[in-house]
Structure 1
Amino acid sequence: MTASPPSDLPPRARTIVLLTCCLSVFVAGLDVTIVNVALPSIQRALHTSVSGLQWATDAYTLVIACLLLLSGSLADRFGRRRVFTTGLAVFTVGSLLCSLAPSLGALVAFRALQAVGGSMLNPVAMSIIATTFTEPAARAKAVGAWGAVAGLSLASGPVLGGFLVSGLGWRSIFWITVPFGVLAMVLTTRYVPESRAARGKRFDPLGQVLVVALLGPVTAAVIEGPRQGWGSPLIVGLFAVAAASGAGLVAAEGRRADPLVDIRFFRSPAFSGATLIALVALAASGGFLLLNTLYLQDVRGFSALHAGVVTIPMPLALGVFSTVSGRLVAAKGPRPALLLAGLLLAAGAGLMAGTGDRTGTWYLVLAYVVFGAGCGLVGTPITNTALAGLPRDQAGVAGAIASTCRQTGAAIGVAVCGSIVAGGSGGFLASGRAAWAVLAGCGGATVLFGLVSTGRWATARAERNGRQSSTQEMEVAR
């Protein structure tokens, strides 16, 4: 622990901390869009199917989703800078190993290792930001800047990925994140102060096992359902395991003094609404990236570089509207940003449902800008709503729960859309329309959950629960 807590740092030091945290999201975001551009090349090089591509993508998002809560609690207990630095090191090593993968199985395993490190990056960085910028307006602006960097990384990914894949092959997309990871480690060690919760949580092995047993089978069932048959014993068994694990998680964590998943958080309608919004909004984002990559390169015949260039407007819009979202939330609260985000997500996916094998570039750019703007607007209000009324000492775990829902949503979006395309007849365009319609529905659900979670009743409950949680924490500390 430093002599001064992060919130007492002078303005210049706080800015350096924010920039260092932003570098981590740049590394993680760059990896996402670079990999998506390279999927068709990976499919050809490793002779895999669409379901294989789903595993190459979901191995990363699923492992992150399973470990985010653990990483958040470890950061609160043992030190956020320590866990953050460890995550950067593991992520960088995983990236290097991915570039050397000789087979699909090895790539999936190394992507999972990447995800172990990735689980310690964005949510821990968010908790560092939350404890550094404690004023609501300053926090909203900091989160908005963080989202803008995410948009910049996503914007860089398609072009850089396309250039690398076209010139050096798909393995080079993993090389590029290594120097950024090393730089982030150096900056973190030098500039980010150590911080931890006043009373960290004890390790909860049962809770961690139940989280894995809930999220893993659901994603596996959705990916393998079209190939195995939805009524097959394997798929039915996977869903049954997930359902039992979910029930066990609620029962076990409700009785534990230091739960991995604090059920008290979900008493707040605002927090519960934020987690649902994270699920559906990020399902739309994950599914969109997969479908768009397959559409551009398999249906339209674009090269990786051409596909990357055409897609640039989407992450650029994401970056611009992330900044807008931070200022909008600081001035008006999360409600306007959430409602507009949901409408734009639905509109963007709806536009893509109308594409064909000769759709004009201007139409694609319009769809990308609309959808990217929705993605940019939704991030900041999700985070602010999730943290509203919760004790600051639990920022790591609360942020990790919200991030878990983001990653789970992205994994499910990829799994559902990939399954629709893989199990459909009549080619990609026919089955793709159904998948785009599902994503448009996710945008509509974002609007609905946004209305409920930001109403007066939900806001009042969040404030009351926050006061009760703070009182309980003080009593336990005594």
Structure 2
Amino acid sequence: MMLLSGHASARTGLDRRAVRPRNGTGSTDLRTLRGRLLALVCCLAVLMVGLDSTALNVALPDMQHPLHTSVSGMQWVIDVYNLVVAALIILAGSAGDRIGRRRIFCLGLLLFGLGSALCALAATLQILIACRVVQALGGVMIAPVSLSVITHSFTDTAQRSRAIGMWSAAFGTGLAVGPLVGGALVAADSWRSIFWINVPIALSTLVLTRRFVPESRSSEVRRTDVLGQLLVVVLLGALTYAIIEAPRRGWSAPPILTCLAAAAVALVAFAVWERTCPQPLVDLHFFRSVPFTGSAVISVASFAALGGYLFVSTLYLQDVRGMSAFAAGLWMLPMPLMTVACAPVAGRLSGSQGPRLPLVLAGVAMASSGLLMVVCHGQDRAVSLCLAYALFGAGIGLVDVPATALAVAGMPRTRAGTASAITMAACRIGVVLGVAIFGAVLSLGLTHGLHPGPGGRLAFTAAFGQAEGPIWWIVTGCGAAVALLGLCVTGTWARATAHRSAVALDTAPAAGHTRT
């Protein structure tokens, strides 16, 4: 669940250099009013994004009737946002370095606020999905660029670490209280209020940004890999469409086969192009490092489990157990609370013992949660359900920081930020695939609508119970994969490959930059 905050914690210890803002802005002192306001602006922005990330999940069942949608429609509401972020997060960071961090940050806030207002006004599912794209274009700029603003504004190492810690805490708090806030807003008004609440936050943050955040940009930036970026969009978009729509259209339907073929072609073309591009979007030398590749796979597996877990749990609590959105948010609260509580534990364990132990513990916790969900859904035990949520939240809290530390282990310092950004993108890709795959499995298993009449509730509950069984086994498998990879990619041989990859990255032509 800590899609970005854990990465921030990891990056705190990566770059001990003083990074000075450009354009004569000078250093910012966190002890001054201006410094505290700058940190507050960045924290407020990611708090808003964090709230939106988890609040919307509990509103999905309430959106179905007004929008006349099915499981696949709700998948698109969640996935289109994460799809845009996953595809563009690396580009967004480099755009801030090139064009100006404050300028991109302001644009992100404006688009996020505008997209939220449009989502609140959306009359149909198709309009809502389109408006979520606008919101995502803003969201993809806010998190990485706000972190970059902090990193480049506070040149003192201790102050920068403290500011990043505040940023991480704000994002984690938004994630933790999102289900409760979302449930309360739905109970008080409707699902549209979840979007409306973003508008005043975005506008006030925009005003404060214009007043208190200095402009800065890098004197050394990479060229934009336009073709590589387009291929990523085609790959992720076509694959996601095929997975979500296949249960409804059939895997042999021409649109599904066309999308699968397009995804395969885009993947091959991307691999070929990135090998020859002078300054690629993703330098494939990174994947010569077993720890880096393992970190990417761990991030995809763990956050795929997270995306699907939240999606299916929300439907179960409200459509099967008949809870209100607010009650569902209360029931799911152990998950984000344990995520926030375990993230600093993971940081301490990674710092003192390396990434292996927290990764193994994370995998075991997630796998245990999946097994418990099989048991508690079959026997309807409330205590087991809460324990399962807590275990899964602990697993996500434990996995994020060591996965990032593993990704940057042995990398040249000049490439640590890029390695971390790729891991962030892997997390978002995981969420996209998780919602798509888990929703597809659920759709295939259901034979009734998600809102059955009074006479069909028992049949629907039985169908849902059968349909969700494979989902929790997939969660168990994802947890087992995380634990196994934690053991396999942290040994001596793996570290040796990281060293060889670092040498290749240092000498590769792709490492060059363009002065602007």
1:445 aligns with 2:466: no
Shift of 1:43: 0.6
Instruction: Give deviations 1:298-353, integer Å, cap 9, x for gaps.
Output: 00000111111111111111111122222332333322222211111111122112
SS of equivalent to 1:121: helix
Shift of 1:219: 0.7
- Higher alpha-carbon deviation: 425-434 or 289-298: 425-434
Confirm or deny: 8 A CA contact 1:91 1:114 kept in the other structure.
Answer: yes
- Rounded Cα–Cα distance in structure 2 between residues aligned with 1:250 and 1:321: 36
Matched to 1:317, the amino acid is M
Shift of 1:143: 6.4
RMSD value, Cα: 2.9
Candidates 42, 66, 69, aligned match of 1:48: 69
Normalising to structure 2: TM-score of the pair?
Answer: 0.84
Which residue matches 2:365?
A: 344
Matched to 1:31, the amino acid is D
Confirm or deny: 8 A CA contact 1:78 1:200 kept in the other structure.
Answer: no
1:259 aligns with 2:280: yes
Which residue matches 1:432?
A: 468
Instruction: Give deviations 1:226-254, integer Å, cap 9, x for gaps.
Output: 11112333222211111110110011111
Candidates 467, 489, 495, aligned match of 1:459: 495
- Higher alpha-carbon deviation: 348-357 or 57-66: 348-357
Confirm or deny: 8 A CA contact 1:270 1:386 kept in the other structure.
Answer: yes
Candidates 116, 131, 141, aligned match of 1:120: 141
Shift of 1:149: 3.3
Matched to 2:200, the amino acid is P
Candidates 46, 50, 59, aligned match of 1:25: 46
Candidates 359, 367, 387, aligned match of 1:366: 387
- Rounded Cα–Cα distance in structure 2 between residues aligned with 1:121 and 1:470: 30
Confirm or deny: 8 A CA contact 1:64 1:407 kept in the other structure.
Answer: yes
| Corresponding pairs, count | 477
Shift of 1:468: 5.0
Confirm or deny: 8 A CA contact 2:23 2:215 kept in the other structure.
Answer: no
SS of equivalent to 1:99: helix
Shift of 1:459: 3.1
Which residue matches 1:108?
A: 129
1:294 aligns with 2:291: no
Which residue matches 1:403?
A: 424
SS of equivalent to 1:208: helix
What does residue range 273-352 of structure 1 map to in structure 2 within 5 Å? 273-352=294-373
Shift of 1:418: 0.7
Confirm or deny: 8 A CA contact 1:349 1:436 kept in the other structure.
Answer: yes
The structure-2 alpha-carbon separation of the partners of 1:420 and 1:411, relative to structure 1 and needing over 3 Å to count, comes to: same
Shift of 1:269: 2.1
Shift of 1:17: 5.8
Confirm or deny: 8 A CA contact 1:80 1:195 kept in the other structure.
Answer: yes
Which residue matches 1:380?
A: 401
Shift of 1:276: 1.1
Which residue matches 1:233?
A: 254
Shift of 1:380: 1.6
- Rounded Cα–Cα distance in structure 2 between residues aligned with 1:317 and 1:75: 33
Instruction: Give deviations 1:266-317, integer Å, cap 9, x for gaps.
Output: 2222222221111111101000000100100000000111111111111111
Shift of 1:448: 2.2
SS of equivalent to 1:216: helix
Instruction: Give deviations 1:401-423, integer Å, cap 9, x for gaps.
Output: 22221111101101111111111
The structure-2 alpha-carbon separation of the partners of 1:122 and 1:339, relative to structure 1 and needing over 3 Å to count, comes to: farther
Normalising to structure 1: TM-score of the pair?
Answer: 0.90
The structure-2 alpha-carbon separation of the partners of 1:4 and 1:446, relative to structure 1 and needing over 3 Å to count, comes to: farther
- Higher alpha-carbon deviation: 8-17 or 173-182: 8-17
Shift of 1:214: 0.7
Which residue matches 1:160?
A: 181
Confirm or deny: 8 A CA contact 2:300 2:430 kept in the other structure.
Answer: yes
Confirm or deny: 8 A CA contact 1:283 1:410 kept in the other structure.
Answer: yes
Specify the structure having the higher radius of gyration (Cα).
2
1:418 aligns with 2:477: no
Shift of 1:58: 0.8
Which residue matches 2:240?
A: 219
Shift of 1:140: 8.4
Shift of 1:37: 0.5
- Rounded Cα–Cα distance in structure 2 between residues aligned with 1:44 and 1:316: 31
Matched to 1:166, the amino acid is A
Confirm or deny: 8 A CA contact 1:151 1:376 kept in the other structure.
Answer: no
- Rounded Cα–Cα distance in structure 1 between residues aligned with 2:376 and 2:29: 52
Matched to 1:403, the amino acid is M
- Rounded Cα–Cα distance in structure 2 between residues aligned with 1:240 and 1:151: 39
Confirm or deny: 8 A CA contact 1:297 1:307 kept in the other structure.
Answer: yes
Matched to 1:400, the amino acid is A
Confirm or deny: 8 A CA contact 2:221 2:513 kept in the other structure.
Answer: no
Confirm or deny: 8 A CA contact 1:127 1:395 kept in the other structure.
Answer: no
The structure-2 alpha-carbon separation of the partners of 1:74 and 1:377, relative to structure 1 and needing over 3 Å to count, comes to: same
Matched to 1:55, the amino acid is W
The structure-2 alpha-carbon separation of the partners of 1:262 and 1:132, relative to structure 1 and needing over 3 Å to count, comes to: farther
- Rounded Cα–Cα distance in structure 2 between residues aligned with 1:132 and 1:347: 42
- Rounded Cα–Cα distance in structure 2 between residues aligned with 1:274 and 1:44: 40
Which residue matches 2:458?
A: none
Confirm or deny: 8 A CA contact 1:279 1:409 kept in the other structure.
Answer: yes
The structure-2 alpha-carbon separation of the partners of 1:183 and 1:472, relative to structure 1 and needing over 3 Å to count, comes to: farther
1:70 aligns with 2:106: no
SS of equivalent to 1:454: coil
- Higher alpha-carbon deviation: 230-239 or 274-283: 230-239
Shift of 1:377: 1.4
SS of equivalent to 1:119: helix
Candidates 344, 356, 370, aligned match of 2:377: 356
SS of equivalent to 2:278: coil
SS of equivalent to 1:354: helix
- Rounded Cα–Cα distance in structure 2 between residues aligned with 1:344 and 1:36: 23
Confirm or deny: 8 A CA contact 2:30 2:159 kept in the other structure.
Answer: no
The structure-2 alpha-carbon separation of the partners of 1:392 and 1:77, relative to structure 1 and needing over 3 Å to count, comes to: farther
Shift of 1:130: 5.8
- Rounded Cα–Cα distance in structure 1 between residues aligned with 2:155 and 2:298: 24
